[in-house]
Structure 1
Amino acid sequence: MNPQIRNQIKALAIYQLAGGILGIALTIWVMFAGELVLSQEVLRFGIFAVGLYVFSILCGRMLFRKPKLGLKLSLVNQVLQVIYFSFGSYAFQYVAGLRIGIGMDMVEGWIFKFRLALSSFHFSLGTDLDQKFIGINLVALFLIFWMERLLEKLDS
């Protein structure tokens, strides 16, 4: 593996590790800051979020150990982050790292939105939030294309 590819994989690994660690820290901080009532549902969603962030950390570690497998796992991790949405009682948003998102808010017409976020998580099932939006994480999309290029270079 040439040094340029090795450095790019190292940068991706650091990004995955940092996003996962930051996500876990923010999840724990939000859960125990005192503003949430710690119900079973909140704890379940918190464990689900931490599980996704641990997956991001594992992807980063795997990039250091087995780059090809790490890139494949990291692709899965980024695919989970590309689309975020909220419609009625269903919502999903997962970011391990950075999100630069563009999307449409459809509550009061079709409003174009630009959103920035660091590691964040939101999951809703059965709770009507009176929100209707869909967005695309441009950072995750860029990383997917980048990782696919790196996989092609590793195969050749």
Structure 2
Amino acid sequence: MNLPLSKQVKAIAIYQIVGGLLGIALTVWVLFSGETVIDQLNLRISLFAGALYVFSILCGRMLFRNLRRGLILSIVNQLLQVVYISIGTFGFQYVAGLRVGIGVDMVAGWIFKLRLALSSFHFNLGIDNGQKFIGLNLVALFMIFWLERLLEKEKQS
């Protein structure tokens, strides 16, 4: 990728802002669609998801204000999205943007799967939903490598 540094940073910032906004919109839509009972647990989980999506938006904005800090926060944001898992009574998946995931579904044997998703969130603790999988978000991994490369370029300038 031979784009100038500023165009690369702008692309990443827009990706994170749009991913966060889409995540908030989808969370609100799921919460108020009428199919979900709004109890205290669902409200807390939705607020947690909303906080992560706001963090993604802030990471994107920070890239315009303070490049070094924005790159570091963006790496943290992408690290939160790399692994998605659901085993036993624990499950976590956070995607602000796009997920192209490769993973293993262990319910009916060891089946390798490719999963696609737009901004999504799943969290459970203490509830066995019968799913057993672990996966890696390839888009988040790519973003981390890209952000680290930009951070090195920024240090050299």
Which band: TM-score by shorter chain?
A: over 0.9
Which string of whole-angstrom CA distances, capped at 9 and with x for unpartnered residues, describes residues 77-129 of structure 1?
Answer: 00000000000110000000000000000011000000000000000000110
2:33 equivalent to 1:33: yes
TM-score by length of 1: 0.98
Report the equivalent of 1:100. Answer: 100
SS in structure 2 of the partner of residue 147 of structure 1: helix
Task: Give every structure 1 segment of 4 or more consecutive aligned residues whose post-TM-superposition deviation is greater than 3 Å.
Answer: none
Report the equivalent of 1:128. Answer: 128
**What is the identity, as a one-letter code, of the residue corresponding to 1:70?**
G
Report the equivalent of 2:145. Answer: 145
Q: Which runs of 5+ in 1 are unaligned?
A: none
2:89 equivalent to 1:58: no
Q: Distance in 1 between matches of 2:128 and 2:105?
A: 16
Q: Distance in 1 between matches of 2:141 and 2:16?
A: 14
Q: How many residues align?
A: 154
2:67 equivalent to 1:67: yes
**What is the identity, as a one-letter code, of the residue corresponding to 1:12?**
I
Which string of whole-angstrom CA distances, capped at 9 and with x for unpartnered residues, describes residues 14-51 of structure 1?
Answer: 00000000000000000000000001000000000000
CA shift at 1:67, angstroms?
1.1
SS in structure 1 of the partner of residue 36 of structure 2: coil
TM-score by length of 2: 0.97
2:17 equivalent to 1:42: no
Q: Distance in 2 between matches of 1:38 and 1:89?
A: 21
SS in structure 2 of the partner of residue 72 of structure 1: helix
What fraction of aligned residue pairs are identical, expressed as a percent? 68
